[in-house]
Amino acid sequence: MEIVVRTIDPCRDPLDCLILPLFSDGELPQAAAAVDQAGSGFLKQLMQQGDFRADCGQTLTLYHAPGVQAARLMLVGLGKSTKISDLNYQKALLAVGRALADRGVTQAALFGLELAVPQRDPAALAEIAVQAIADGQYRFDHHKAPAETPRRELQTLTLAVDDRLAPQGEAILAAATAARITSEATAWARDLANEPGNICTPTWLAEQAQTMAASRAIEADILGPAQMEALGMQLLLGVAQGSRQEPRLIVLHYRGGEKDAAPLVLVGKGLTFDAGGISLKPADKMDEMKYDMCGGATALAAIRAAADLKLPLNLTVVVPASENLPDGKATKPGDIHKSMQGLTVEIINTDAEGRLILADALTYARRFKPAAIIDMATLTGACIIALGHQTAAVLGTDEALVQDLLAAGRQSLDRAWELPLFEVYQEQLKSPFADLSNVGGRPAGTITAACFLSRFVEDIPWAHLDIAGVAWKSGEHKGATGRPVPLLVEYLRRRAGHPR
């Protein structure tokens, strides 16, 4: 999708589709007021009739509307002007993206960057708009029979600025371009995650990572079972031993910073399918366990975005990829495996496998002497109970790192919330037979999972994102969301000195 920023006359320019935001209380933004006047008050009359109330996210497409040269006029509701917020703006533009996709619009112009949204300047609104519209455009349908009429996608989005905003055009374009790159990386993460488990195996995921890396001068190193065995990665190998698919450890390096600068390391859980192993999951919605590699997908997408943005930093990504199946060779409850670090782990529940493969990956990541480590994983159902499907959890050993991630989440609208990591929770991981157990019981499940991971990072600044509630959706819009790619990219931009 090409992004253009320019001044537009909403009445006289012969546009393919003109997008106008409206408020439900009748207040008309600048462009809408001009269109209403040119059309002899037809917008106000339309709203008075009640067919279009301008509720937040409501859209209505008009063809050859009076007073404008545009072929289409797409109205989108923002709700009450007194309650405008960045979340409402995002919701409205997501609806626009879906409406544009449904109608096959290829060229569109958006007005409304001048709106007074609290704590958001025009460039920030442009960023939100581009990502939301791209999100609404997303489809994953290449396994379906081809449609009789090929789907038309949005090719050009023009962000309209008036004379007052024109001096900010360069900043608006820069923000929108960064949003486009983030959106493309997010869509790629969604594509990886939406592939079924018979296609997205650990080997396939590694191949996709290699292909992406080769096109961007990112270094790639893929480790197989023999190399894992030599490294002593018995936790990762123990999870994989119930599957006929070999595990892979995907390691990527983007070197955009000073040669000797310590890298930031992202570690993403890459369970390409998780049946729970011997501790078998219920059949209901087990098909969604292909999404247990969303942490790995988002880590790969983040390094892709960093390379495309040419961020001046060094970034390494480590993704342990495996399946977790109940084969006759599978790890049994009560088995004990030794980690790469040397700690022994009693496997009480084989469905708590994500922390096992992450433990060896975190240990491996330490060899790069990183400035910090951030891992992301669809790790615990307890996180969904605590925070629902709206917010990720963040826990860590470095408060500054945690706060930076929270700030990036607020800015990108890809929010997270901090949970405690008090030492007392480590008591729940004690085992009478090994150095620690892989589960700590039902209480504080998200926290004890993070406590387990903390045992493998030592003194390196570290934060953990539990994305179990936000990585995918069920229902009407079922599929991977790509979260927390926006949060991660915003964090990387800030760390590289390119903040919004």
Residues 206 and 157 in one domain: no
Residues 125 and 194 in one domain: no
Q: Decide which of 162, 194, 221 is a domain's last residue.
A: 162
Cα distance between residue 23 and residue 463, in whole Å: 41
Residues 197 and 158 in one domain: no
Cα distance between residue 21 and residue 298, in whole Å: 32
Residue ranges in 326-369 assigned as alpha helix (H): 354-365
In degrees, rounded to 5, the angle at the alpha carbon of residue 205 between the alpha carbons of residues 202 and 208 is: 155
Residues in the chain where the model's pLDDT stays below 70 = 499-500
Report the domain count for the chain: 2
Domain harbouring 31, CATH code: 3.40.220.10
The verdict on residue 39 lying in a domain is: yes
Q: Decide which of 97, 128, 162 is a domain's last residue.
A: 162
Residues 24 and 123 in one domain: yes
Full residue range of the structural domain in which residue 300 is found? 184-495
- pLDDT in the model for residue 500: 58
The SS3 assignment for 449 reads helix
The verdict on residue 179 lying in a domain is: no
The verdict on residue 177 lying in a domain is: no
Residues 294 and 422 in one domain: yes
Residues 24 and 137 in one domain: yes
Q: Decide which of 130, 162, 194 is a domain's last residue.
A: 162
The verdict on residue 398 lying in a domain is: yes
Residues 48 and 109 in one domain: yes
Cα distance between residue 476 and residue 122, in whole Å: 32
Residues 258 and 289 in one domain: yes
Residues 203 and 114 in one domain: no
Residues 69 and 118 in one domain: yes
State phi, psi for 13 to the nearest 5 degrees.
Answer: -75, 130
The verdict on residue 443 lying in a domain is: yes
- pLDDT in the model for residue 153: 92
- pLDDT in the model for residue 26: 87
List pLDDT tens digits, range 26-71. 889 999 999 999 999 999 999 999 889 999 999 999 999 999 999 9
Residues 297 and 339 in one domain: yes
What residues are labeled active site? 281, 355
The verdict on residue 204 lying in a domain is: yes
- Whether 205 and 161 have beta carbons less than 8 Å apart is answered as no
| HEC per residue, 3-48 | EEEEECCCCCCCCCEEEEEECCCCCCCHHHHHHHHHCCCHHHHHHH
Residues 43 and 132 in one domain: yes
List pLDDT tens digits, range 142-172. 999 887 777 889 999 999 999 899 999 999 9
Cα distance between residue 453 and residue 36, in whole Å: 59
Counted residue by residue, the chain has a size of 500
CB atoms within 10 A of CB 326: 18
The verdict on residue 19 lying in a domain is: yes
Domain harbouring 489, CATH code: 3.40.630.10
The verdict on residue 178 lying in a domain is: no
